[in-house]
Structure 1
Amino acid sequence: MHVLVVHNRYSSAQPSGENRVVDEEAGLLRAAGHRVDVFERRSDDIAARSLLGKAAVPLLVPWNPAVRSQLAARLRTSRPDVVHVHNVFPLLSPAVLAACADVGVPVVATLHNYTQVCPPGTLHRDGKQCTECVGSKVSLPAVRHGCYRGSRLATVPLAVSQSVNRRRWWSGVERFFCISAAQRDVLVRSGMPAERLTVKHNFVPDLGTRRAGAGEHVLFLGRLAEAKGVGLLMAAWDRIAAGGGVGVPLVLAGAGPLEREVADWAAGRDDVRYVGLCEPEKCRDVVARSVAVVAPSTAMETFGLVVAEAMAAEVPAVAAGHGAFVELIEDGVTGLLHQPGDPGSLASCIRRIATEQDLNREMGKAARRRYERNFSPAVGLERLEEGYRTAIAVRSGGGKSTPSAGDAHTGSRRGTRASRDGGM
């Protein structure tokens, strides 16, 4: 197939899991013999704009007419079989959907977050889950609370785009890829067309790096932000330290708004190491040398790349028992789920997974088997191709936009079972 990938690349100042997914999927498709072209914009380019150009960026968020004409011209010239849309904020806008409709090219879109129903895409506000805008046609609560970057003004373009482009999204995309059943459930409850939503978990490349031995540290790898549970993890680790520790240090790798707080907390301690941002090769190594990876997010994650990466390396995880984590982790089998937001529960799970070595080893092996069944490149390629074929058939009138039973429902049942096991 000939696939055109449409993506607004996130700023290079912060590592982006979404950018990685886009690049890895393109590489996977090319390796399988498909032709993949890219139509993209880069948020990094905003800095080079004139003052007037920078001031105009918010106006382009709901609609960028230049992108519509440029993409339509590209489509008429290259005639791809399908367009795969990822992020369109802030420089592409939903005008990409109009361009595809102008030329009659089928569209699939990966929903990496909750921007269809929540302007900042997180379902998280003031340290807590928030669903005030879910199901609403106008996201006034988000504007009132300044949910995007703490600014009402910055939130307005996102809220306007969500409102005026809702029907365009829901009717202009033949197939939506949700990256977890938990995400799909939220979107269906919000009113999105269930027949167009299918679950396609992100895949993780198998780089052949697996854990040897018991591991050297407990690892947090990700954005240093409150929504990622960093404050919760520090509180839990202080409890562990007060009880004598677990024999290995906590390593925190990443950057973000809590970077200074984390660095100050770690300073002078033997049981904590803050290592900052890691290059990809270093990240793979630090994961493979872990006793366990910790993902204590207080927000409802749509996936959990670091958990899947740990599985590939035969490393179990401790994660919050909500959102996508209940699909990734079978509690007590491939890792442990802690009570969301509870530092005592998190500390107990870390202590158990770090000190019960036989259990840890068996969980690591089970995690690797789960990775091979659900998150490997072979599985990722199969789901991509299936989604593309469905979108092409629907656009040509030869098929119906209905997800398979396994895509739409099996993940939800698995997630529900895991949530019960996790004691939510």
Structure 2
Amino acid sequence: MRILFSFPHALGAPGIGWTAWQQVTGLAARGHEVHVVTASLARPLPDGVTVTTSLARGRARIPHRAIGRDRAFAWHDRVAARQIASTSPDLVHVWPLAPGATARLARDRGIPVVREAPNTHTAHAYRVVAREVDRLGLTGRVPSAHSENAAHLRMEEAEWAAASAIFAPSDAVAETFLAAGFAPDRVVRHQYGYAPTSRRVSARTPRRRGLRAVFAGYGEPRKGLHHALDAWLSSSAHTDGTFTVVGRMMPAYADLLSTPLAHDSVQLAGFTNDIAGALGAADVLVLPTLEEGSALVTYEAQGVGCVPLVSTAAGALIDDGVQGLLHTPGDVAALTAQFDRLATDRDALSRMSAAALDHAPDLTWAAAAERLEAAYLEVAQPGRAASLPRPVRAHSATGEVVTDADAA
């Protein structure tokens, strides 16, 4: 297929930039002709991928804030729209944020348009985050990308309206769009992935020792670290185990959590570029997130045999009780019980760790590219998509198991 890929941020930068870069690289590896329009390029792309930058000239990058973020997004959108005539794509793939000109022009020319949804429906995300921030008494003190922004929501609504399909990387994301009134045939599942390293990995042993837990992510209310710490200190696991916090922290949020963070069993590791190392040194990954797209750390954890203990909102691709354990967002009692269980039942921990490693090949970026291709064909050529791989088994936001066929 000939694909026009619009990404109005720095492609290859940490976060969604890394995810989008992996998508482009994976599509190119599968033989697709990819034309990228991006604000700037943070890392090289494979030969054969053409690149147009909307906010860079040579090595000089123009920050979005230099001309105003909304103006920068609108400018990028116009640049991408102009590429439709010169590339004649079979399909257009757009990422947030842009006012929708590219999507509308493609639609008007009969070209399928898919809109990436790296997080839940934005209005849903705003509600969930605002509710928790208010509950914690932090309103106005913890700025976040998920703080309410009416202008950005209007941009997203314009793209959603023009898109042929919304691409959801998890059931948790898909369900929020369905709840917002999107037709089921417009919400298409795919998945993200992880990059295996050369590090030797093995399943955790059943040998009795203190449970080693790790939280890896930005310390903000949305990620639920406060629930993780409450559960940890309420469980028996903290008596001889360790809970390591990896990642930067919002200052006001860190102040709120100063007492549990100072507990003898809790270690603050700060930011690291070696997430695989941090996960490899732990028995369990703890991510009681309240709102998420499909957290890449849950893929990386399984790749090194670290057992995910995550909320159903984390977008993790696991079967409850097989590769890890799930809980409803905010259910501290359930997470406490999971800590207690795995602190005492090392055989169960070892089995889940081995199952996570067995599952890992289905979670690589190469596997994600194969499923992204299937999702494209589901939109552009439905008949061809039937024989291609579907997203792996996943759990819905309600905790209900969704089969391979249902997940699509």
TM-score, normalisation: structure 2 = 0.76
Q: Distance in 2 between matches of 1:416 and 1:264?
A: 32
Aligned with 1:387 (options 335, 350, 375): 375
User: 2:111 matched to 1:109?
Assistant: no
CA-to-partner distance for each residue in 1:251-286, whole Å, 9 max, x for gaps? 11112425643884577654222111111xx11111
After superposition, the Cα gap between the structure-2 partners of 1:2 and 1:246, relative to the gap in structure 1 and judged at 3 Å, is farther
CA-to-partner distance for each residue in 1:120-152, whole Å, 9 max, x for gaps? 55743221899xxxxxxxxxxxxxx99x9489x
Q: Which amino acid aligns with 2:36?
A: V
Matches within 5 A, 1:273-352: 273-279=267-273, 282-297=274-289, 299-320=290-311, 322-323=312-313, 325=315, 328-352=317-341
- What residue is the counterpart of 2:92 in the other structure? 83
On the 8 A contact 2:326/2:399 being kept in 1, the answer is no
Q: Which amino acid aligns with 1:183?
A: V
After superposition, the Cα gap between the structure-2 partners of 1:390 and 1:336, relative to the gap in structure 1 and judged at 3 Å, is closer
Matches within 5 A, 1:247-266: 247-258=240-251, 260-261=254-255, 264-265=258-259
On the 8 A contact 2:286/2:309 being kept in 1, the answer is yes
- What residue is the counterpart of 2:180 in the other structure? 190
Q: Distance in 1 between matches of 2:231 and 2:396?
A: 30
Q: Which amino acid aligns with 2:131?
A: D
On the 8 A contact 2:213/2:242 being kept in 1, the answer is yes
Q: Which amino acid aligns with 2:269?
A: V
Q: Secondary structure in 1 aligned to 2:238?
A: coil
User: 2:374 matched to 1:376?
Assistant: no
- What residue is the counterpart of 1:34 in the other structure? 32
Q: Secondary structure in 1 aligned to 2:283?
A: strand
- What residue is the counterpart of 1:234 in the other structure? 229
Q: How many residue pairs were aligned?
A: 373
Q: Which amino acid aligns with 1:113?
A: N
Q: Distance in 1 between matches of 2:126 and 2:154?
A: 14
After superposition, the Cα gap between the structure-2 partners of 1:117 and 1:268, relative to the gap in structure 1 and judged at 3 Å, is closer
Q: Secondary structure in 2 aligned to 1:261?
A: helix
Across the aligned residues of Structure 1 and Structure 2, the Cα RMSD in angstroms comes to: 4.0
- What residue is the counterpart of 1:137 in the other structure? none
Q: Distance in 2 between matches of 1:304 and 1:410?
A: 16
Aligned with 1:124 (options 124, 129, 144): 129
Q: Distance in 2 between matches of 1:10 and 1:68?
A: 14
Q: Secondary structure in 1 aligned to 2:330?
A: coil
Q: Which amino acid aligns with 2:270?
A: G
User: 2:345 matched to 1:356?
Assistant: yes
After superposition, the Cα gap between the structure-2 partners of 1:269 and 1:188, relative to the gap in structure 1 and judged at 3 Å, is closer
User: 2:178 matched to 1:173?
Assistant: no
On the 8 A contact 2:99/2:156 being kept in 1, the answer is no
- What residue is the counterpart of 2:49 in the other structure? none
After superposition, the Cα gap between the structure-2 partners of 1:301 and 1:413, relative to the gap in structure 1 and judged at 3 Å, is closer
User: 2:11 matched to 1:6?
Assistant: no
Q: Secondary structure in 2 aligned to 1:109?
A: strand
* Structure 1 unmatched runs, 5+: 131-144, 394-398, 420-424
**Alignment identity in percent?**
20
Q: Secondary structure in 2 aligned to 1:300?
A: coil
After superposition, the Cα gap between the structure-2 partners of 1:414 and 1:150, relative to the gap in structure 1 and judged at 3 Å, is closer
After TM superposition, give the deviation of residue 381 of structure 1 in Å: 2.4
CA-to-partner distance for each residue in 1:206-249, whole Å, 9 max, x for gaps? 33542465498311001101111111122223334xx5725331
Q: Secondary structure in 2 aligned to 1:323?
A: helix
TM-score, normalisation: structure 1 = 0.74
On the 8 A contact 2:129/2:221 being kept in 1, the answer is no
Q: Which amino acid aligns with 2:355?
A: A
After TM superposition, give the deviation of residue 330 of structure 1 in Å: 2.4
On the 8 A contact 1:295/1:318 being kept in 2, the answer is yes
